[in-house]
Structure 1
């Protein structure tokens, strides 16, 4: 099974939290109704469905390289204004589009500056958001801080190190390199609440995303050591619940 093949697993890990960020993100863009939107790296349709629900678009095309994700989006987004295609960020369709957006995608695009340049060519408004892997995305930060504690030899797997550009300043620099004259940025913070440690830990067992894939690569005894190190770091309430927050950074520019 491909790491990014099953929409249900992705939803349980970060898709459900992306939907919360998407609502704030689309509201911040404040685009008028009746526009043509392109959702790059649409995944399971979190951002597409939010655009449909809150922005009154004429149409939304979601593209993603994962056939599994596109299939999930087609099954779950029931709106005639939406369509989905299997495409990577390196093969975006011709425009023009009034708004080109990408949620939680840019860090997984190898040639991200080139992708932004292409988005600028075909879109009047271009906007993205990414998790603050180094600091504010707590459900992942606790995992990687525990990993560094018990397996410091694996610190290069830390998404905060791998995706150091995922800050307001980093996004501004990428947009400038892609040819935008100015980019506005903002933080978006959403709650990520879990009923129990098992509720928190279960999505890490699905293998989708950097942290779950890393966990799956370890022998079972090492997985258990890491599991307990993560548990020791979490702010677990008396009733067993865990209340965290997740911060994303968003950037937008008008061509």
Structure 2
């Protein structure tokens, strides 16, 4: 993934569990065929890459991500699952030297919102795709449409919750505006851009206690409590536990969310 995930987040936070419902929606939209060559941008621990490799056999799948720990896990899981037609590379997709006109399908599960130059990044990805290839990706909608984001910020900020900042490079909401998504992909050389509203819950853990530990690994949570004194941190964590308890369904801690399913063609 091109996301600037911190290595300490990788140890505990389970993105595959969090995004399981979205993973299913993405998988249903791909239609990977035998013999396909799939490129997974921001692959993380490689679940989508491995699934694509299975469906593409005797084709292949390649995942790219900037996180060394996540890729180590991805490789270990692929080996454990006996998947031989999959590969992983640690690099930034924005400037990586992909083999041109090689991949028949590009995919990304929340891995494209972090580029410093989105047009250049998508143009580079486009050059790696064959003419006529699809690029299918999930990106978050605006922060104020994410129950998980709003609830965690309010809990950790108390009565002085900061306003939601405007998207900047490195922010997960930089592609929240569908017009921006369409304009960026078009400028990068893609055509037939289609943006579809997708709404699924995200899961932060099997219960409130473990969800709290997971949330506190996130950059947003760390930044919100970084400058608080010990007493304020304790109050913030108390509010967070109450919030997580309220979202504990007995089958996990779930929050509402919204994303865009974006499809485009390399002409």
Q: TM-score, normalised by structure 2?
A: 0.78
Matched, 1:132 2:136: no
Matched, 1:191 2:210: no
Any conservation in 2 of the 1:127–1:252 contact (CA below 8 Å)? yes
- How far apart, in 1, do the equivalents of 2:58 and 2:151 lie? 38
Per-residue CA deviations over 1:175-230 (Å, capped at 9, x if unaligned) read 22322232112233333355432232110222xx4324424624443333333334
- How far apart, in 1, do the equivalents of 2:180 and 2:62 lie? 27
Any conservation in 2 of the 1:7–1:44 contact (CA below 8 Å)? no
Shift of 1:107: 1.9
Q: Counterparts of 1:168-187 in structure 2 under 5 Å?
A: 168-187=178-197
Shift of 1:80: 0.2
Bigger mean CA offset, 148-157 vs 27-36: 148-157
Q: Which runs of 5+ in 2 are unaligned?
A: none
The alignment partner of 1:94 has SS state of: coil
- How far apart, in 1, do the equivalents of 2:164 and 2:108 lie? 28
Matched, 1:111 2:117: yes
Shift of 1:33: 2.3
> What is the CA RMSD across the aligned residues, in angstroms?
3.1
Shift of 1:125: 1.8
Q: How many residues align?
A: 248
Q: Which runs of 5+ in 1 are unaligned?
A: none
Question: 1:216 and 1:65, CA in 2 relative to 1: closer, same or farther beyond 3 A?
Answer: farther
Question: 1:148 and 1:182, CA in 2 relative to 1: closer, same or farther beyond 3 A?
Answer: farther
- How far apart, in 1, do the equivalents of 2:16 and 2:220 lie? 15
Question: 1:222 and 1:176, CA in 2 relative to 1: closer, same or farther beyond 3 A?
Answer: farther
